Amino acid sequence: MSIRERIFAAVYDPLSAKPEAKFGAAVKRKLLANARGRVLEIGVGTGLSFPHYPPDVEVVGIEPLEPMRRRARRRAEDLGRDVTLVEGAAEELPFEDASFDSVVSLAVLCSVHDPDRVLAEIRRVLRPGGRFIFLEHVRSDDPQLARKQDRFERPWGWIAGGCHPNRRTLESIEAAGFELVEVQHEERPDIPRLVRPHVEGWGQTPSGSDPHKAGA
């Protein structure tokens, strides 16, 4: 692991404190209310999501960086929450086909090496009708800001854990075959302009019926 990755893990919580308090915690709580059953969270980081899961879901987190996993483990212990943490990358999920009811990605598709492969893996591990819940910052619709996101892609990635601020993530989610159920576009305050445009919501793998829906 590089020194940059270690520093990224060490500063992640302090730098996230203000945006979490301002909007992150509330948005996570609202989104994660849609999680059902056995849940996989990719790129779980330091576990900022853990307090916001409904109590009756089982959470498995995958994360490549050991210092992030260590902090996530500590957070789960402090919360008294049973979370299984696994080392690995979302491009190659070490799980069986159709083995999760929900998959969660919170600010991760901006950082992975190959978003299309990750989305294909998410589809593979979700059962038919399973839920993909996402909160991602994306390429701006404003051409001027989008140009800036392109121009600063490399330096931004260098300081922000390999993040690409200019990805068309919602389009990728749709192209991967998820049926979108709820989507919201938001401009988030109090974070650098490059990463303010966000999409959040959830979609489903094509299915048939959702066994978690009342009456289904």
Ligand X SMILES: C[S@@+](CC[C@H](N)C(=O)[O-])C[C@H]1O[C@@H](n2cnc3c(N)ncnc32)[C@H](O)[C@@H]1O
Q: Look-up: residue for tokens 């996402």?
A: 134
Q: Which of 27, 59, 76, 90 binds ligand X (CB under 6 A)?
A: 90
E-only strand ranges, 2-125 = 38-42, 58-63, 83-87, 100-106
Q: Look-up: residue for tokens 């994306």?
A: 138
Q: Which of 39, 45, 119, 131 binds ligand X (CB under 6 A)?
A: 45
Min dist. Cβ of residue 8 to ligand X (A): 8
148: phi > 0 → left, psi -120 to 50 → alpha, else beta; which? Answer: alpha
Q: Determine if 203 is a binding residue for ligand X (CB under 6 A).
A: no
Alpha-carbon span 207 to 178, nearest angstrom: 10
Site residues for ligand X, 91-150, by CB under 6 A, read 91, 106-108, 111-113
Min dist. Cβ of residue 183 to ligand X (A): 18
Q: Determine if 65 is a binding residue for ligand X (CB under 6 A).
A: yes
The window from 44-52, 141-149, 174-182, 186-194 that contacts ligand X (CB under 6 A) reads: 44-52
Compute CA distances 137 → 16, 26, 140, 141, 146, whole Å. 14, 16, 9, 12, 12
Q: Which of 31, 89, 138, 191 binds ligand X (CB under 6 A)?
A: 89
Handedness of CA 48, 57, 62, 101 (dihedral sign): negative
Q: Determine if 43 is a binding residue for ligand X (CB under 6 A).
A: yes
AA identity, residue 82: D
Min dist. Cβ of residue 161 to ligand X (A): 6
Q: How many residues bind ligand X (CB under 6 A)?
A: 19
- State the residues that interact with ligand X by CB under 6 A: 42-45, 48, 63-65, 68, 89-91, 106-108, 111-113, 161
